[in-house]
Amino acid sequence: MGLIYSHRAPDWPNYTWDRTTFSADLAAVHFRLGQLVVAMAALGIEARQETVLSVLGRMS
């Protein structure tokens, strides 16, 4: 089954999940987020703003 919005799932809102199936991925994302926060903090304000604008531009 492909990815769908949770509110469109047939068992919405009575679905359950097994947290062990995604806990390792979630931990990895959390760790990478911490690395990103530290790296961004090391930048000056101008470089940080340019980086944020660059990322936001790629998302649209």
How far is residue 39's CA from residue 13's CA, in Å, rounded to a whole number? 39
Give residue limits of the domains in the chain: 22-60
Which DSSP helix (H) or strand (E) runs through 45?
helix 45-59
From the centroid of its chain, how far is CA 25? 11
Q: Is the pLDDT of residue 23 over 80?
A: yes
pTM reported for the whole predicted model: 0.53
Higher pLDDT, 35 or 22: 35
Q: How confident is the model at residue 27 (pLDDT cuts 50, 70, 90)?
A: very high
Q: Longest C-alpha distance within the chain, in Å?
A: 48
Q: How confident is the model at residue 12 (pLDDT cuts 50, 70, 90)?
A: confident
Higher pLDDT, 4 or 57: 57
Residue 1 is predicted with a pLDDT of 55
How far is residue 7's CA from residue 16's CA, in Å, rounded to a whole number? 13
Please answer whether residues 13 and 5 qualify as being in contact, where contact means their C-beta atoms are separated by less than 8 angstroms.
no
DSSP letter for 13, please.
T
